[in-house]
Amino acid sequence: MASVDVTVRGGGIFGLSCAWALAQRGAKVRLIEVTQIGAGSSGGLVGALSPHMPEQWNAKKQFQLDSLLMAEAFWAEVGAVSGLPTGYGRVGRLQPLPDAGAVDRARARAASAADLWRGQAEWRVIPATGAGWEPTSPTGLLIHDTLSARLHPRQAAAALVAALRAKSAEVVIGDAPDTGLVLHATGAAGLAALSADLGCHVGGGLKGQALALRFSAPDAPQLYVDGLHIVPHQDGTVAIGSTSERDVTDLATDHQLDDLHARACTALPCLRDAPVIDRWAGLRPRARSRAPMLGAWPGRPGQFIANGGFKIGFGMAPKVAQCMADLLLEGRDTIPAGFHVEDSL
């Protein structure tokens, strides 16, 4: 590559998606990942793309809604250019309702969703049918939303790399010089570096663990049961996650995955005989503000940040990429209030 307009550091979902949006707009892009693609939380197993509750609306929830609605076209183009599967599917989501109060709240949220989601997706209360792929529900009722989707994290990352190369972007595994504008999308390590540079804590990494089972339900909805994500993937696996651990002594998997597995099998008995085929642990970047951190790196002209996609990075990625391409290539700040780097200081 004769010259580079933008160097993107970080081969996780924010770095890859931003590099893709920049390359699509004609920028010459170099993406640098020092270890391996998806080395942090983006190399996980779950891939649940799910909305916030349709109530107490704010800029973060609107941003996520916009991104989820962009996702189908975003991932379809990545798949078409790369020739590889991404595992994307807008399959919806089921959630059990444990008691009468939960039913009342869910019905109120259905009315809110009709207004806030503008008819582009539904949130409704439905009766359980007793089908095999349904969570047990004490009330016999379930929430069904049609906005939730799933994505296979590792397939999506591989497809983005191939799509970038098809656009003549440079993908470096190792190290290389920064040239042009520099976008830092380096996850938990990046939040630590930013905290050190600014002299205040702006975020850090929380450990998460997940596992995968061999079970084929490629067109089934994902499930959310008592804080547990159960996500059927197109490749004949089901991902279960995840833990959220503040005390990080190491990044090994441990007994907590046995608890996740047991809870998932209780919630969905058809999984009981499915073999465990993979176990994962990694650090997920969480900004102090709990929102993504986007924008210019304070005090470093020509350098920018895209970080803090804690738990919602894959769902936020299409809109994050669009905003960062607006900023770097056109100088337009389309980042919502609360998402700027300064908002975490």
In a domain, 21, yes or no: yes
Mean pLDDT within 11-23: 98
In a domain, 170, yes or no: yes
In a domain, 301, yes or no: yes
In a domain, 248, yes or no: no
3-state secondary structure (DSSP) of residue 126: strand
Query: How far is Cα 141 from Cα 102, in angstroms, rounded to an integer?
Result: 10
Name the DSSP class of 199.
Answer: T
The predicted pLDDT at position 2 comes to 54
Task: Tell me the pLDDT tens digit for each residue of 170-209.
Answer: 999 999 999 999 999 999 999 999 999 999 999 999 999 9
The model's confidence at residue 26, banded by pLDDT at 50, 70 and 90, is very high
In a domain, 280, yes or no: no
In a domain, 36, yes or no: yes
Mean pLDDT within 115-123: 95
Query: How far is Cα 105 from Cα 73, in angstroms, rounded to an integer?
Result: 32
Query: How far is Cα 291 from Cα 36, in angstroms, rounded to an integer?
Result: 25
Task: Tell me the pLDDT tens digit for each residue of 213-241.
Answer: 999 999 999 999 989 999 999 999 999 99
Q: Which residue has the tokens 């009315």?
A: 111
Structural domains of the chain, count: 1
User: Both tokens of residue 84?
Assistant: 């590889």
Pick from 142, 116, 140: which is nearest to 57 by CA? Answer: 116
The model's confidence at residue 244, banded by pLDDT at 50, 70 and 90, is confident
Note down the domain range covering 194. 6-91+150-203+288-344
User: Does 64 have pLDDT greater than 60?
Assistant: yes
Could you tell me the CA-to-CA distances from 274 to 224, 232, 237, 264, 266 in Å, in that order?
A: 19, 12, 9, 11, 13
> pLDDT above 70 covers what percent of the chain?
99
User: Does 3 have pLDDT greater than 60?
Assistant: yes
User: Which is more confident, 246 or 159?
Assistant: 159
User: Does 60 have pLDDT greater than 90?
Assistant: no
Average per-residue pLDDT for the chain: 95
The model's confidence at residue 122, banded by pLDDT at 50, 70 and 90, is very high
Mean pLDDT within 133-145: 96
Domain of 14, CATH number, reads 3.50.50.60
In a domain, 110, yes or no: no
Contact call for residues 10 and 184 (beta carbons, < 8 A): yes
Task: Tell me the pLDDT tens digit for each residue of 310-332.
Answer: 889 999 999 999 999 999 999 99
Task: Tell me the pLDDT tens digit for each residue of 140-152.
Answer: 999 999 999 999 9
The model's confidence at residue 1, banded by pLDDT at 50, 70 and 90, is very low
In a domain, 99, yes or no: no
> pLDDT above 90 covers what percent of the chain?
89
